[in-house]
Chains A and B, each alone.
Chain A
Amino acid sequence: MEVLKYSYLDEKIDEVKEQGFLNYRTSELPTWCPGCGYFGITHAMVQACDALGLKNEEICVASGIGCAGRYPIFMKAYGFHTVHGRSIPIASGIKLARQDLTVFAVGGDGDILGIGGGHLPHIARKNIDITLFLFDNSIYGLTKGQTSPTTPLSQVTNSHSQGNPDTPLRPVFLALAHGASFVARCYAGDVEGMKNIFTQAISHKGFSFLHIVSPCVTFDKVNITWKRLRENFRAVPSVHDPSDYRAAIQMAEDPRPIFGLFYHDPSRQSYQENLRGKRSPENSKSSER
């Protein structure tokens, strides 16, 4: 009888070991609810780091509070689990202090769009070279299911038992409006796609905004669920030109979950470049807006 057991797994294990993304994890097991989309995001992030060959010690991750805020604890890098809503300023501080570091800001929807919402326009217009991972599960998870800035209208939550009365924010639209130079939306279940976008985002010189849609498996069983995301998932059309701002805006207005790279302006100078005296309005498309 032929031995057939884990041969598939065995190959995969070797493959995974070769890939080396494990080097970007800490020994701590993530504490998110099983099935949480954040696992997917995390997985794609370490894979992107691996793909780019980043050195652990040269990665700094600043996060806020909330489920997403726990992220740095699970990533082998210099991590800073900060206070609610402030991952962007802290990440910018790190980047401003240390041009040589790769800096991630990580936060949830409440973190980045709610309490820390004021920082988003400014990081976008300043174009400081950090990568912002917005883990958007459209709910306040760690405080047990209250309405967040992206909770769909009329969804029943623990803070709005009669349904959410607030119109949700549109993060991608916002980022585009604020002038972010790299804007993408990802789907937490699509590791390959995320990895691809993350790699581009991290390489982008300037602020990259990554809106990552993830279900909250514990507090939203109705609206943004794995099943619904899987079924409605649409990729950005292949004909879309990421440098086309107007097309990006149009897509961002589309209520359907479109995932992919919306907008990328590689020519825009980062804050640091601007500081270095390369200020020239002609170079920047954003000045047109």
Chain B
Amino acid sequence: MPKNDHYVIIGNGPAGNKAADRLRDRDKEARVTIISDEAFSFYYRYKLPDFIAGRISEDALKVRPYTIYKEKNIRLRLGQRVERIDPDEKVLYLKHMKKVGYTKLILATGGSPRVPPSFIRFMEYFTFMTNYNDAVRIRPELQKAKDIIVIGGDLISLRFIKMLTGMKKNIYFILTRNCFWPIELTSRMAGKISSSLEKKGIKALVDTPIAAITRQKNKLLLETGDGQKIRADMICSFLGLKPNIDFIVGSGIDTEKGILVNEYLQTNYADIYACGECAQIYNPKLKDYWISIGSENAALQGETAALSLLGAHKVIKPVPKNLLNVGGVSVNTSWWKQF
């Protein structure tokens, strides 16, 4: 391989970091660059609720110090957003009018908060908490708030609720089944979750449609489809994540829900790979496309992508079922079926 190879990884999450490490281990000569639009270092996303609650410091969020990148000779471009990919020219266009060329590209852009179309009209009232920036922004708000509505039902929302109960907040939980994207909770699971939550003093509403949200003075008023009116200071939305592929659509890289890749995590371009929450993988054994969530999956895929990229043609396999006990319900976090 020529020495001037430049491996670019978009995304500074578990998948991106793992991929970068692996690339560096196997190829000492090449340039390895991670580009991330977040300005904060690689952090544990699941610790964000604790961070918001003020239980842990910023440093505790960080997975590893910046010095590691220097040691490993990995270029970290933080706070730089990729606007466009030109896969034919092999160039990335960054937001600040900069071009970055690559020889191989790994897309590990992760996910961003998802808002189902039916909720789009309420978006302005929602508070999201998916990344560090959000966490920093809502931290002071949350300290002041008394009544909080949580919409959703994904894992981090449950952690969040746990954190809120610790803070003695008044919590309303609207469990929205089809929002545990990409799968739906069964009514049995939803019921279990809600009942276990109610035991903890949380008012849980299962599958209650939202009719309207209005702002009244300092409070937000939520009207449910069945006529309930709930006043709250904040409405936090945890409606799952959607792959961050907006900037990729139309570039020539095939996408559907996520970036379509084969079992080697290769996209329709031979030199572009995708891994983590942004990748939509067809798995012959499961006979379907899959999008994974969870940092373990992401890291595994990052590694796989890196190895495939280096020519190992490693096939990604579903990891053993990784069950998390959430509110008494076992939830499979490894591979979420699309339908």
- Is chain B in direct contact with chain A in the complex (CB below 8 A)? no
Binding site for A on B (CB under 8 A): none
Which A positions have Cβ atoms within 8 angstroms of B?
A: none
